[in-house]
Amino acid sequence: MVILISVLVLLTVVTLALAVFGGGKRGPKDVLASRLEAFKNDPTGAASAAAAKPDDESAFKARRTYSGIPILSGFFGAMKGSESTALFLEQSGIPLRVGEYYMIRWACAFFFFLAPFVFGFSVFNLFIAVLLAFVGYWLPRQWVNGRRKRRADHINAQLVDLLGMVSNSLKSGYGLMQSFEFAGRQLPDPLGLEIRRMLREATLGMSAEQALAALGARIESKDLDMVLTAINIQRAVGGNLAEILDKVAFTMRERERIRGEISTLTSQQKMTGIVIGGLPVFMFLIFMVINPDYMSLLFTTLAGRIMIVLAIIMETMGYFTINKLLAIEI
């Protein structure tokens, strides 16, 4: 019981440290200001200083609740990392609050910690339990991160259609927000939902720049950032926005074509990694069926247990190494 309480306290301290010191991500206005800085031409510096001064958005910013319990909501609201965690959950499209998300992570860590003690209590099982507790705390974040990446890929696939609808609407004489409203009605979720939310925020009092910046922060897509940057540059210096969007759409189609070629060229390496990584597990299961007494030494002796732990660690390292090598940015 003392060990269990100690591990839970350790996880709590680590979570608080990550939440308090994990903040520091720039907000949407800082990102847009840095992008448009190169396009400003103000010798006196007065306009630049005025543009760098943040607007008062307190009247437009929604009150976010981080937990269904008011005390916990205030506790998480006082931490720096809570807002970035809430934005992380929004980007994944998962309807969870920050408090619920951390409760799931703590619960997974707790059950993973208890799992090795089913086979008895020993120093080795305690060591494995501590490792599994950290794994259980880390797995929910990886799952949410995977959901966020799949959602971003889905949105990126819809962006070309969005740009075509907005460009054609602009050529027909509609305004920018009217064009987005038409596209939001035609596009399916998740991009259609985000466009409608952006329009609702603009209707409630946000400026067009603020609403578009909030849209980019919720989606966090490089392709969408390129679109929003083009829109903001056009609004700042002028130009034919429909033509700009057509060129951006062409660039995005070319990037998607290159991604497809890279995926085709690296498919053999991916399959090789899957075969090599799965071969030890397959041979382990085969020997367990053929001669279980021979393989039981891996579970009954200390050296065998250490070998199993090292094998799992090396398999995991190999998996992440291959993924990192094949992750080519376009």
Q: What is the pLDDT of residues 188-209, one digit of tens each?
A: 989 999 999 999 988 888 888 8
Cβ-contact 302, 124 below 8 angstroms? yes
Tokens read off for 161: 């259609």
* Sign for the pseudo-dihedral over CA of 58, 63, 66, 71: positive
Q: What is the pLDDT of residues 159-177, one digit of tens each?
A: 989 999 999 999 988 888 8
Give, in degrees to the nearest 5, the angle at Cα 321 between 317 and 324: 140
**C-alpha to C-alpha distance for 270 and 322, rounded to whole angstroms:** 8
**C-alpha to C-alpha distance for 312 and 137, rounded to whole angstroms:** 18
Cβ-contact 48, 42 below 8 angstroms? yes
Cβ-contact 184, 217 below 8 angstroms? no
Give, in degrees to the nearest 5, the angle at Cα 218 between 213 and 223: 75
Please report which helix (H) or strand (E) contains residue 304, including its range. Answer: helix 302-326
Q: What is the pLDDT of residues 31-87, one digit of tens each?
A: 445 545 544 444 443 333 333 333 444 444 456 778 777 777 778 777 778 888 988
Instruction: Please list the residue range(s) of the chain that carry CATH number 1.20.81.
Output: 152-264
Angle of helix 302-326 relative to helix 123-171, nearest 10 degrees? 10
**C-alpha to C-alpha distance for 182 and 163, rounded to whole angstroms:** 12
**C-alpha to C-alpha distance for 4 and 102, rounded to whole angstroms:** 18
Tokens read off for 134: 């950290």
54: CB partners within 8 A, 6+ apart? 29
Assigned CATH for 152-264: 1.20.81
Residue 26 has pLDDT above 50, yes or no: no
Tokens read off for 258: 């290159």
| pLDDT confidence band for 5 (50 / 70 / 90) | low
* Sign for the pseudo-dihedral over CA of 211, 214, 220, 226: positive
Kindly report the pTM of this predicted structure. 0.69
